Chains A and B, each alone.
Chain A
């Protein structure tokens, strides 16, 4: 019974989830690129520091930017560790790459198994730390929406079940059930990417560029807004 479900989850479900994520992200990227080009086209000042804007985004990828901060260093550094794990393990874990190779003939460099294990443990620890940091900090607790709690919790599941799948002896549960939960939870996450804050994985790269163009006004836009509100004859 479970084998049947595992076959489905490993095959069609996985493909569907990847496709949903890819299409969702593609749509976001296409829209954003289109909107940015349109904004550039209308801007009265077309000298845009593209490189600087993207660099300002990239700076946040490096841990030194977090360590420079005076406050919440631990939280920010934990976030950095989590991001390393959440990208490296799914993409470079040997088991995952083997599936890619088997399905599509394409493979790439893989993490040594022990490193993947430790990184997974670290990622889970980081996720717990991030949840605790969110709960302990009044301002961030107050800001949090449902997804800010639910996504980290959901993210823990494939990492723990992944560890158990790689090391069935560590697991207190039935190996097949664990494997199925691993597959389904990961797929759910993939599907959620375009519809949640996880979409920042593609929009992050150009947010500063967007900001730059937001501040670049089309000449006469103020007048046109007044016109379409029927206020052309009104004064200040």
Chain B
């Protein structure tokens, strides 16, 4: 393969490029090493130079520099984080300690972007950044599930999840991205269907019509999925996969809003309805584009709030960043459906039949909802209201274990053996220990991952469901609220 450059060079000071070693791997070798998770065709030679250019550009235009600079100086290497990392606990491989993983990028920063590193590099003449190291970073940072459990354990306050995010961002700018994420994002932002699963709108419209009929059959009440309605309180973004695979979650949500008297207060946008935001996993550029789409739809339809369905990363990306791109205080508030359902139930606007579910039920905390303490008790209160036998997993809440498919890894089908045989093993043990029949996971990613974890770890009797799947069974729709 020709080692050609696809872009003009930005201005990178020579000191930053100092100490680069000539590529030791041929482009062919690189292609081989990148294996299946990387979009091979976008990778050309000369990786170290391109990596540093991208790193320099990112440091210049973002707010990462101050935090990376601090992280590069303070680590005490106590390895407290190792105890928190379920990947390390499974593999016991030194390269899986979060602090080690972060040190790969931090060392590159120290060596090429700090005065001392540059001087030391000249004195010792030790090239740090090589093709091998970049490939190691690509491998290790995309294998981290970005669950951020280790951040709770770092006495010095280092957020290894942030380092993983930043490293992936830089890697993605030189074309080192899991193919699955790129294809989905491309379909969502640049494809005709405008969603990550590339489902054309007519197919989704058919699905919605079908779901309305199903609800009418099940419950005998006309519940609607409003589309492109203007001036509503909520504009609703679910992960698009729900329209394909999690119909009961959507039916549950529609039923709750109908029964709670909000049937006329929400809408879906036919132009852009997908709440998935893989930018949170690997690119600030993508993150911003996805959120700007959501903001544009809210504006187009005059909706006042953004309502996110059962999806952890869609919720966190909107909740944490909508103010950034939506003009601070002018940005619409972001509400997760669990918050809204809980409020409606608390206010007595929806009723859930006690003991509807008699089988044992347990609850999995999605990292993006629970790690920061955002949504922990509310779904449990709802479950206790209609489940006769609710049991907890340990640990839980902010200390929960990741499903094993976080950070976008669940979308990479090629690494299923890794997800269910390494990252998901502790989760499987946790689920087994509860003896539950239903595992409730209010997150599309967690649901897909947990189903595969159960399948591959001998838990075939366990059913993984969304919270609203079960609420749909328990909610009383007779004459309550509705569109009236």
Please list the residues of chain A having a beta carbon within 8 angstroms of any beta carbon in chain B.
Answer: 28, 31-32, 35-36, 38-39, 42-47, 56-57, 60, 65, 69-72, 75-76, 79, 137-140, 142-145, 148, 195, 197, 199-200, 203-204, 206-208, 210-211, 213-226, 228-231, 234-236
Q: Measured between alpha carbons, how far is A230 from B153 in the docked complex, in Å?
A: 40
Choose from B70, B75, B79 the contact partner of A210 (Cβ within 8 Å): B70
A214 and B162 form a contact (CB under 8 A): yes
Q: Are B286 and A203 neighbours in the complex by a CB distance under 8 Å? A: no
Known: A45-B321, A197-B76. A224 touches B61 (CB 8 A): yes
Find the B residue at minimum CB distance from A53.
B157
- Bound Cα distance from A56 to B371, whole angstroms: 14
Which residues of chain B from 1 to 60 have a CB within 8 Å of any chain A CB?
A: 6-10, 53-54, 57-58, 60
Contact B76 A148 (CB under 8 A): yes
Contacts A228-B60, A230-B10; is A214 near B67 (CB within 8 Å)? yes
A-B contact pairs, 15 of them (CB 8 A): A46-B328, A70-B83, A79-B78, A79-B155, A137-B79, A139-B79, A139-B94, A142-B97, A213-B63, A214-B66, A217-B284, A222-B283, A225-B285, A231-B7, A236-B182
Provide the B63-79 mask, 1 if CB < 8 A to any CB of A, else 0. Answer: 11111111101111111
Given contacts A208-B157, A222-B285, contact A214 B190 (CB under 8 A): no
Of the candidates B65, B73, B190, B283, the one whose C-beta lies within 8 Å of that of A200 is B73
Known A-B contacts A39-B63, A44-B325, A231-B7; the reply to A236 vs B186 at CB < 8 A is yes
User: Contact check: which of A145, A199, A221 meets B62 at CB < 8 Å?
Assistant: A221
Q: Which residue of A lies closest to B181 (CB)?
A: A236
- CB pair A222–B74 under 8 Å, yes or no, is no
| B287 in the interface (beta carbon within 8 A) | yes
By the criterion CB–CB under 8 Å, are A199 and B186 in contact? no
Question: B residues 107-129 with Cβ under 8 Å of A?
Answer: 116
Encode B311-333 as 1/0 by CB contact (under 8 A) with A: 00000000011011101100000
Q: Which residue of B has the minimal Cβ distance to A224? A: B61
Which of B6, B63, B100, B162 is A43 in contact with, Cβ under 8 Å?
A: B63
The 8 A-B residue pairs whose C-beta atoms are closest, nearest first, are: A222-B285, A35-B66, A230-B7, A44-B324, A214-B67, A140-B79, A207-B157, A142-B94
State whether A143 and B189 are in contact (beta carbons under 8 Å apart), knowing that A208-B157, A226-B285 are contacts in the complex. Answer: no
Residue pair B66, A217 in contact (C-beta under 8 Å): no
Residues from chain A with a CB closer than 8 A to the CB of B156 are 60, 200, 204, 207
B162 touching A203 by the CB < 8 A rule? no
Q: Across the interface, which residues of A come within 8 angstroms of B74, CB to CB?
A: 197, 199-200, 203-204, 207
The CA-CA distance from A40 to B400 in the complex, in Å, is: 31
**A218 and B327 alpha carbons, distance in the complex (Å):** 11
Asked if residues B162 and A211 are in contact (CB atoms below 8 Å), the reply is yes
Bound Cα distance from A106 to B265, whole angstroms: 69
Q: Which residue of A lies closest to B323 (CB)?
A: A45
- B401 contacts the other chain (CB 8 A): no
Interchain CB contact under 8 A, B324 and A43: yes
- Contact across chains for B186 and A210 when beta carbons are under 8 A apart: no
Q: Cβ of B73 and Cβ of A235 under 8 Å apart?
A: no
Interface residues of B in 275-328 (CB under 8 A from A): 283-289, 320-321, 323-325, 327-328
* Nearest-Cβ distance from residue B280 to partner chain A, whole angstroms: 11
Q: Residues of B contacting A226 with CB < 8 Å?
A: 173, 285
Taking CB as reference atom, which chain A residue is nearest B151? A211
How far is it, in angstroms, between the C-alpha of A32 and the C-alpha of B61 when the chains are bound? 17
